[in-house]
Structure 1
């Protein structure tokens, strides 16, 4: 007597069940960018990157080269970057005769104080917007974002009127207040996005220990937002250092208050332009920007990545 055995359901696949389709990795990677990158020789990719980098920095190299040439060689040498004889007198003329020594100190003072004011104000505003809910919060956000579309030229008239009434029109103090009193919406949103992602347990534990609002902000939250602070510092420094319109208005009647960007006009006269001296002055004004960017570039990228991730 034979006992019929039942087939093993687990071992035999169902004919009606859909078969799992295995991805064709070879075909999918064949047309992808990764396949092309793996087939691209490393020396060819390096050559492409070096060529693009050279084209990107060539205007800066040409400016430095022009600062060491005389007036005729700047236009006669064409695109050549190597001067026949270094004209260091261009830097001496820009620093002493064009009064760029005074303009440099004015720019340093205005930029430093403006950066401090903007970082402090935007950090506190971003902390409140990112961590607290209050009545009219959406309206405040709409007003802040709307300031993106208001050009600086449309606000300079009321700024000048208020500064004149306060007696700050022809002074570095008025210039600092005018440049640090803008919307700075990008900086506020960066801080708000970063603070929004910090766990609330930090604040709750600090409140239990008896810490107040300013203690929590300055001793806990602000040190944690150091990447955002570095990003806002660099952005504000670049915008203030290169600002032309506001320093021009606030130094029209007092040339000794000019900044570096406004001081470039000293090389342009009615009949001639001192291109060598202007190139030397531009090189002097760009050196602090390059040094600051090299020091803060790692924090700059980390700050943007952290704010976007939050």
Structure 2
């Protein structure tokens, strides 16, 4: 028993140590980041690194851009994937299996292969170099895992609920939004967390969409501000990374119970 606990503790420390080192590096000066090696305790905490990252590197603006892009992307993905999963789970129609096959097939298409048509469409719609363009591009993916999670969850809900709603005069949208979607709360929390993490950490697409508009950068792209031609501000970058991770950690702590319930509920079916 104690041996297993020690092994688990060692695994936890191996996973947590990089994060602790990043926080420690955020409190060190650039020289100490390398001279201290693996030491986690800074000799003299440099709290001004966070101020530098927030003000001088314009990270406050990048954080606001990221929040806007992430929130709107999560809302669009939730509605779209929930409705797609509901239709695929509760309705039997011609071509349903073909649609499922195409969706699953998109899992094997690398993101880089789709960036050219995405940028071309955004340019034609005058959405390039804009927050709205990033939202449309990030929320327009297949999101197969999210659709399958909703599909698995809706599959196990008794059909009597829909029949009762129909008898009460509810149409498709009323049945979906008033009856089915509220029941899928755990899956909604799971998809929201997955989409939040993916959007918050997205780099390639926001980079392409903000080439000529640095003021629209997200936090992941904003990290480039700490990389100069001849040097890199490692302590400033660590401070910015720590700031950017705080919302993710808070959201995960709040939704972790629903995340587990959503995965378990969808897989059980």
Provide the TM-score with structure 2 as the length reference.
Answer: 0.99
2:51 is matched with 92
- 5+ residue gaps, structure 1, are 1-39
1:276 aligned to 231, 235, 259, which one?
A: 235
| Shift in Å, 1:67 | 0.2
1:155 is matched with 114
| Shift in Å, 1:44 | 3.5
CA displacement, residues 11-45 of structure 1 (integer Å, 9 cap, x when unaligned): xxxxxxxxxxxxxxxxxxxxxxxxxxxxx3xx433
> Number of residues paired by the alignment?
269
Would you say 1:188 and 2:188 are equivalent positions? Answer: no
CA displacement, residues 173-192 of structure 1 (integer Å, 9 cap, x when unaligned): 00100000000000000000
Judging by fraction of residues, say which structure has more helix: 2
| Shift in Å, 1:232 | 0.2
2:211 is matched with 252
CA-based RMSD? 0.8
2:37 is matched with 78
1:145 aligned to 104, 126, 129, which one?
A: 104
1:223 is matched with 182
1:301 is matched with 260
Q: How does 1:162-241 map to 2 (within 5 A)?
A: 162-241=121-200
Q: Rg: which structure is higher?
A: 1
1:51 is matched with 10
Q: For 2:163, what is the secondary structure of its paired residue? A: helix
Q: 2: CA distance between counterparts of 1:48 and 1:184?
A: 36
Q: For 1:145, what is the secondary structure of its paired residue? A: helix
Q: How does 1:124-139 map to 2 (within 5 A)?
A: 124-139=83-98
| Shift in Å, 1:211 | 1.0
